[in-house]
Chain A
Amino acid sequence: MKNLNQLLRQPLQPVPLSLAIFVLALALIGFADATYLTVEHYRNVIPPCSVVSGCEQVLTSAYSTIAGLPVSLIGAIYYFSVLLGAAAYLESRKTFFLKWALLLSILGFLASLWFVYLQVFVIHSLCAYCLGSAVTSTVLGVTALVVFSKKGRSQQLNDEAD
């Protein structure tokens, strides 16, 4: 709990510019992917249920919306927020923006784990673009964890030096 508090309060150590660009690029891919799925959702195309390929029901299942909003739209908003954070950091060099983008990425990563679980064990059907989004959010989440753990370690060293 103390660590979480520390994480939320303390500013991020300066990170290499390339890392912010990496986060921006990943969020851009994720955004494009989630936008595609959102447009697909609102097109209202009804894929048939097939003996061979199942129902392709990931995009039409009861799990595809949360409170009436398609999960893909929530995903697009999430990627947009990460994009905005990374871009704001690149433009202003204020680590505050990147820190929140990375914190959000961890949430996105956890959400992705849940959705992959649903596809594999509950809906029994996979959707390529949904898995694509799971990959981008996993890489984003892992990147965030690495950045924070490095920060934690350097913080520890600083504390010890004090």
Chain B
Amino acid sequence: MKRAVFWSGFVIILALIVWGMIVALNKPVKPIVPKLGTPAPVTAADHVSTASDTPVTLVEYSDFQCPACESYYPLVTRLLSEASTTVRLVYRHFPLNDIRPDGTVLHPNALAAAEASEAAAKQGKFWEMYNLLFDKHPEWTELPDPRPVFEKYAADLGLDAARFKADIDAVETKNLVLSEKQEGSSLGINATPTFFVNDKAIANPQSYEEFKSIIETAASTSTP
């Protein structure tokens, strides 16, 4: 009898702990919408997922090396395929190549990856490179020098190797990436990914359903 009471107590206490954690963590938290400026208008220089006009424009400031951006990549991809007539994606660079207090770089391969995507863009394959960089994230993010991997991706995409290398090295490519980051910083962005739906910053959705509903709401309220 005493034994039964002891073990019942034991199980109840542990069950309470587990239940308490689940309840506490599953409380919906009010998302904090970051107070940010309005992103620069979409121009021909931007990378836009579709040429067609859509009621919703999703602007993403992103870093190819960022694990959170990688986590959002399948969500955004699904969104673009399921709501292709509603939403288009504009991808802008925000590489977190900043230096930490201990002297190490936050994402040391982020700038190189952004440059690789721009070099691919020069040959009309930005989105193909974008897909490869996110799909094969673990292949290059931790490398001391990711360049050979990017060159392999370029070869896989059938790009002109010499031109790709020259474009990666071009100062203009680096300046282009950094100017987009500069523009993002001027809006107040300090984290990736940061999304804007029809020029308004949104709190990062925590599920695909939430993301889709934000897009649908924006589509229903957007003026044609």
Contacts and interface: CB of A to CB of B under 8 A. Distances in A.
Interface of A: 28, 31-32, 35-36, 39-40, 43-52, 54-55, 57, 60-62, 80, 83, 87, 91, 124
B206 A31 contact: no
Contact of A39 (B3, B13, B22, B107): B22
B192 interface: yes
Contacts of A57: 67
Contact of A91 (B3, B66, B71, B191): B3
Nearest to A24: B10
B26 A48 contact: no
A50 B191 contact: yes
Interface of B: 3, 6-7, 10, 13-14, 17-18, 21-22, 25-26, 63, 66-69, 71-72, 96, 98, 100, 102, 104, 106-107, 138, 190-194, 204, 206-207
A31 B68 contact: no
Nearest to A83: B14
B120 to A, nearest CB: 23
B72 A46 contact: yes
Contacts of B193: 48
19 contacts: A28-B13, A31-B14, A35-B18, A49-B66, A49-B67, A49-B96, A49-B106, A50-B190, A50-B192, A51-B190, A52-B190, A54-B100, A55-B66, A60-B67, A62-B138, A83-B14, A87-B10, A91-B3, A91-B7
